[in-house]
Chain A
């Protein structure tokens, strides 16, 4: 803003050619699309009725009114670079905590600078832009969280600064008050001393002088210990405040989701919690599994015929299926047990020095399973 004033009265709007001399309130605006400078009244005139192309000869960029803003830097090149930098940093806002190593983070910083340089010096603009857009699309979530973190940090930093200033002010005030108190007290003791001297006899002079000195010392030492106490209290207070402001910084480590994202290498792998398995009512056991046979609905067996026709038994709910199931399992229970193999297995494991009975049991079961298959 200062720069505009320094240009003096000969500054002329390149569009309407009106100069500051004629219009002392003239403000110049630029649009980050093409960075062509024009005065406020031109912007109002040309762009009030919607987007229009830039009035500067040779520039065909379509501009919108709401994007116009005041220039910060005198050099339009610097202005542009700052804009580009801000935009790229906004998208590529990975934090150091998110990288495996310092090296990876440095590589990332270099890559970011390269992208900025490409955009500033207009080399490979289309390709770089495409890269940037793709990255922004893929990592929307992590970009957002990192932005939020940055904001949080900025506010907490701001708060901290304010607090420190306030503290410094308090300290100064206390010191000033202290000094005042001391001075006042000194004066009071002196006055007291003088009045006592004036009223007392000549013989007491030495005693009064000693007394006065002692009182002064006592008072000042009491004051000093009081001050010390206050200072300690404040220091303790500051300690807790410091800790409190420290927490949001540490939070950064947990934030940030989504995987690697092609553009940036060396990102730390983020463990996403495994989705909960569906509830299994049997908790791993398999119901109704039979290794050697399938159970039929009914077995022709004369012994059971009377039972089948007995309504009392039927009404009581006696279930022949349960009987079939039990007898069949009992009948087949001995199959698949090969004692010799089990013994061999046991000897083998005991030779290895494993004496865990659970392991032997497991091995025996495995052997049984192999035979069954």
Chain B
């Protein structure tokens, strides 16, 4: 890590605009790994737990704020120590901490700090993103959005992915569910539990990554050496889902997913993808010819011809011919009409659901947070 290539001031990138999130990070967190360990214990009392956000099986999100600034909000993700996992921390926790602390970008969720609590659970202090996720927006029938909105969201997603790739990190779990929305409407790449850095030559990577509907064909065929192209495929699937408002390829199993891909885009063969037959899990059922440009034009008329071209370049079967994240951002669709919607004009999640949330809670439920047995106290922090 000492020679970390993903340092935020890597010489490969010049940051033109000072980012407020960045500054917060700089002032609040000792950035180097060595210091972070030392800072864990001290930084613990820096935040006060105020409100429980969300329940997960292994993870618990709590809302907190910096002690010197009660108006600031952070989400604290508590990762429970797994009883069955004897070798220390789980992989996803390590991955999340390892890559998030290095990446600092507007479209990547910010990790402010990490600390461990008394029961040796790991707590990640993350940026608080109250806008829900893209999946909620896609599924909410009351929300209507247009091409400009899709372009804005895709632009933010593509920037986040490109930044990860530029710093040699594969996200490997891109899906609408993991694209969180900040209070100002900015989309942020979250959940780096499956992330890893680009592999060295001859080093095998696992192909059991990425949620199935967003998994590219090379992973379904069991490729062990792959590139950033896997994230681009997922990005293309998200793009298609944003346009159609239903998942494009919703396979029931891995095999079903392969056949769905073949039906939609054509069957991978030696002609269109040299060497594909030698991949470990290569199977085909029937030979569908490769789909041309007119298929995308027909299927995604809302994106327009230029948008369909971009989507097509992201959904090429052969990962070598697929566009890279950089090429995606260099596409002319971004500058074509209509202009991407400004963040403040983007559709938001409707607040009604949130209001009913506490009503759905059963009477017997009680939160077993760290202050379970403590008497409730009035919080005057907000009045400062």
Q: Which residues of A contact B (CB under 8 A)?
A: 276, 278-279, 281-292, 303-304, 307, 311-320, 322-323, 325-326, 329-330, 332-334, 336, 356-358, 361, 365, 368, 372
Chain B residues within 8 Å of A322, by CB:
165, 168, 198, 227-228
List 27 contacting pairs A-B, 8 Å CB cutoff, sorted by A: A276-B339, A279-B155, A283-B159, A284-B15, A285-B14, A285-B15, A289-B11, A289-B12, A290-B12, A307-B202, A312-B223, A312-B278, A314-B320, A316-B225, A316-B279, A317-B225, A317-B227, A318-B227, A319-B228, A326-B198, A329-B5, A329-B168, A333-B7, A356-B27, A358-B22, A368-B11, A372-B11
B212 to chain A, nearest CB (A): 18
Do A326 and B168 touch (CB < 8 A)? yes
Known contacts A288-B326, A315-B279, A319-B227; is-contact A281 B159 (Cβ 8 Å): yes
Do B17 and A283 touch (CB < 8 A)? yes
User: Which among B11, B16, B27, B279 has the highest number of chain A CB atoms within 10 Å?
Assistant: B11
Set A278, A303, A307, A314: member contacting B274, Cβ < 8 A: A314
Taking the complex as formed, is B67 at the interface, i.e. its CB lies under 8 A from any CB of chain A?
A: no
Which bucket holds chain B's interface residue count? 35 or more
Known contacts A317-B320, A333-B5; is-contact A358 B26 (Cβ 8 Å): yes
CA distance in complex: A281, B26 (Å): 25
Do B168 and A316 touch (CB < 8 A)? no
Set B13, B26, B276: member contacting A315, Cβ < 8 A: B276
Do B225 and A333 touch (CB < 8 A)? no
Do A315 and B159 touch (CB < 8 A)? no
CA distance in complex: A287, B228 (Å): 16
Chain A residues within 8 Å of B166, by CB:
287
Chain A residues within 8 Å of B159, by CB:
281-283
Instruction: Kindly supply a per-residue 1/0 record for chain B positions 228-239, scoring 1 wherever the CB is within 8 Å of any chain A CB and 0 otherwise.
Output: 111000000000
Do B9 and A318 touch (CB < 8 A)? no
Residue of A nearest to B227 (CB): A319
Chain B binding surface SS class: loop
Do B202 and A312 touch (CB < 8 A)? no
Chain A residues within 8 Å of B227, by CB:
317-319, 322
Taking the complex as formed, is B214 at the interface, i.e. its CB lies under 8 A from any CB of chain A?
A: no
Instruction: Kindly supply a per-residue 1/0 record for chain B positions 90-125, scoring 1 wherever the CB is within 8 Å of any chain A CB and 0 otherwise.
Output: 000000000000000010000000000000000000
A61 to chain B, nearest CB (A): 56
CA distance in complex: A330, B4 (Å): 7
Set A313, A318, A325, A330: member contacting B3, Cβ < 8 A: A330
Taking the complex as formed, is B34 at the interface, i.e. its CB lies under 8 A from any CB of chain A?
A: no
Set B155, B197, B229: member contacting A281, Cβ < 8 A: B155
Instruction: Kindly supply a per-residue 1/0 record for chain B positions 1-44, scoring 1 wherever the CB is within 8 Å of any chain A CB and 0 otherwise.
Output: 00111010111111111000011001100000000000000000
Chain A residues within 8 Å of B265, by CB:
none
Do B11 and A312 touch (CB < 8 A)? no
Taking the complex as formed, is B356 at the interface, i.e. its CB lies under 8 A from any CB of chain A?
A: no
B84 to chain A, nearest CB (A): 32
Say which one of B128-136, B327-335, B363-371 lies at the interface with A: B327-335
Chain A residues within 8 Å of B335, by CB:
278-279, 281
**A278-B335, A284-B17 given. 10 additional CB < 8 A pairs?**
A281-B334, A285-B13, A287-B326, A287-B329, A291-B11, A307-B201, A307-B202, A312-B275, A326-B197, A358-B26
CA distance in complex: A372, B230 (Å): 35
Do A281 and B330 touch (CB < 8 A)? yes
Taking the complex as formed, is B273 at the interface, i.e. its CB lies under 8 A from any CB of chain A?
A: yes
CA distance in complex: A334, B11 (Å): 10
Do B201 and A361 touch (CB < 8 A)? no
CA distance in complex: A356, B22 (Å): 13
